[in-house]
Every structure is written in C-alpha cells, then in structure tokens.
Amino acid sequence: MRKEVKERELKGVNGWAVLVAAVVAMLGGLALAILGGLSVGGDSEPAHPEFFALIAAGLILMLVAAVCLNGFKVLAPNEAIVLTLFGKYHGTLNKDGFYFVNPFCSANNPAVMGKLNKKLSLKAMTLNNDKQKVNDEDGNPIEISVVVIWRIADTAKAVFAVDNYLNYISTQADSAIRHVARRYPYDVSDGGDEKSLRGSAQEIADVLKTELQERVDMAGIEIIEARINNLAYAPEIAAAMLQRQQASAIIAARQKIVDGAVSMVDMALKKLSDNDIVELDDERKAAMVSNLLVVLCGNRDAQPIVNSGSIY
C-alpha cells in the first residue's frame, strides 16, 4: 500500500550563530590538543593521564566541529531542500537564508541524480516537448506540441510520490495533448458551431490545463498554463488540406462577389426604369444582366465594345 507523505516545513537554526560556535570549538579543540601534546612531550616530568585527556577532548571538539559543517544550508529565494534522516522524511527547508540543520540529514531530489546540488526550484518553469503526430476528431493526422508553465507546489509529493517529477510531467503532458486532440477537429466545420484546435485556442488551453492538472496532482505540481504552441497537418496530407482550404476561400469569395454583382445589377435596372432613361424589354434586360454579371464577376478587366448604332 502506497504511503502518502505530507509536506512538513522545517525550522532551521540560524546558521551564523552555529558557524561561530563551530569555529570556536575547532580553535578550542586545536588549542587543547596542542597543549596536551606539549605537556606529554616534556622530559622534565612523566606524562599524566590528564594530558592525554586534553588531547582526546581537543580531538573530539574538532571532530564535532567538522561534522557540523555538513549541517549548513544556504537557500536562495524560491528554492527548497527536502531532507531525510536515516531514511525517514525529516522536513522541507523552503525559506531563503543561511541555516543549520541536523548534520546527519541528507538532501533528496530525484531529478538531479548524481549531482551535489539537491535543491528543488520553486520557480515557474517551462516544459516544451517535441512535436508528436496524433489524429484529430475527424481522423486527420496532425502534428501538435504543447508548452506548459508549471511549478512545484508540494515538495514532499514531488520527491517521494513519483520516481522523477521532470519525466513524470513530460510524459503526462504528451498523454494529455493526445487525449485532448482526439476530442476536437483541427478546424471548424461548415456550420462553424463547434470548438476546434485551430479556432478555439483559449478554450482548448483551458481544457488542456484542467486535464493535465488532474494528472499531476499526485506529484505535487501546479499547472499555471498549458497552451498549444505548434499545430499543423501532417506532411502526408498537408498539400491536400491546403487545396481544400484554398477552395473553401475561393467559394466564399465568389459568393460575396456574386451577391454584390446581383445587387448592383438590380440597382442599375431600377435606376434606368425610375429615371426614364431607357425602356428595355425582357430580352434586352436579360442581355444587360448577362453583360453586367460578366463584367462584375470576371477575374479580368472586361474589354468594352461601343455600339454606335441603335440597340434595336
């Protein structure tokens, strides 16, 4: 059964006071050892046991002072040290300053195996994983990556609940983006009434943040922001999808052009009729409408032909 470790703040002793005491103990021990050694080395009198006691006391003081050196810890702002004492969680030192703790405590940080510096950073950090290929809701292969802003909220969970919190959040971020990408299409449908990966950036970011936070709670990690930073169709379908988007854009543009052309033709016919400029029968109106639509809807500028005779 997994045992949950709760974070416990450790109150460190002022390091400067202990440092002064250690220096005094070191110098005092050295003085006692020298004094005892000089007394033992004299030829005038036989050596007394008290002199050997002086040497022993001096060596013990120097040994204690040397051991105390392992208990000094220096922390900068937004740093923490998780300490264990003989295999048991002792506490977390998380305030900046110079402190003295039990010299037999050892620092733990599974993310920096083999390094001397076992401090945990409490700053906001950025995770930017490589692009990965997934299928969206419509089954289209896409390439997607996510950038995550996160911080350690519970040092005990980050150290003891998972094997390596850096690898853990990286793996969970990949898993979360895959799960979210499968629930939404790459782009909006023709109706435009649904969320999409490309068109609903803020909504997708909120969903992704919530999903990822649920996954990393057990590791004592807080997700500040999670957002898609790279989104594209996979290379094998990118060209086809580009043609599709271009076709949709051309159709939409042509629809607006036709709507505008019809309005202009209708306005022209009404103006001619209201101002009694010319009376046209249905055949001539049809010819005029055809000519105006060709002029207004054509891709190129029309070349007009001036009729100098009667139109009848």
pLDDT less than 70: residues of the chain: 1-2, 37-51, 114-115, 189-193, 237-248, 276, 278-282, 293, 295-312
d(CA 215, CA 178): 13
Task: Round to whole Å and give the CA distance between 40 and 43.
Answer: 8
Does residue 307 fall inside a structural domain?
no
pLDDT at residue number 69: 86
Are 110 and 131 within one domain? no
Contact indicator for 160, 5 with CB cutoff of 8 Å = yes
- In a shared domain, residues 34 and 103: yes
Question: In the prediction, which pLDDT does 34 show?
Answer: 79
Q: Is the whole-model pTM more than 0.85?
A: no
Q: Specify the pLDDT at position 208.
A: 93
pLDDT in tens, 140-177: 888 899 999 999 999 999 999 898 999 999 999 999 99
Q: Are residues 134 and 221 in the same domain?
A: yes
pLDDT of residue 150: 96
> Of 121, 144, 173, which one is at a domain's C-terminal end?
121
- Mark which of 95, 121, 147 sits at the end of a domain: 121
- Supply the range of the domain harboring residue 275: 245-297
What is the spatial distance between Cα 109 and Cα 83, in angstroms, rounded to a whole number? 9
Answer whether residue 6 is part of any domain.
no
Quick one: tokens of 87?
């295999």
- Asked which of 121, 156, 187 is the last residue of a domain, the reply is 121
